[in-house]
Amino acid sequence: MSDYENVKVLVLSNGSNILCQVTEMDDNFVSITNPVTLEADNTENRINMNPMIRFAQKNTDVVLPVTNVELMYIPTVGLQEEYIAVFVEETKEATETSEEETAGAEETEEVEVEV
């Protein structure tokens, strides 16, 4: 497991899937940083990641009403590691993720990150 236990996927009431770091949560609001949208590309059999707020500074807090969050869960280790390397630590260029990095998901998919 990654050192980033605060990395979660949020499914919003508008249907968006957001991969982010949850920094704080109470009964009314959830605060997140470095959010990216997840979009399944079924024609290419991969998941695309794109910054949710393209012009925000890195580590900017984004506050969402809890009423907009339908579901929150821990992503696969491979997805977590790709997200951290590309969007948080910036130690890796956006690439396709190998099948072994996504192990643990119901279906194995290649993951491509687009910035």
pLDDT of residue 19: 97
How far apart CA 106 and CA 104 sit, in angstroms, is: 7
pLDDT at 66 over 90: yes
DSSP for 55-104 reads TSPTT--EEEEGGGEEEEEPPPHHHHHHHIIIIIS--S---EEPGGGGBT
Which residue, chain included where needed, has tokens 């969402």? 64
What fold is seen in the domain 7-108? SH3 type barrels. (2.30.30)
The full set of domain ranges for the chain reads 7-108
Percentage of the chain with pLDDT > 90?
55
Residue 100, pLDDT > 70, answer no
Annotate 63-76 with DSSP letters as a single string.
EEEGGGEEEEEPPP
| Least confident interval from 17-26, 32-41, 44-53 | 44-53
Q: How many helices (H) and strands (E) does the chain have?
A: 1, 8
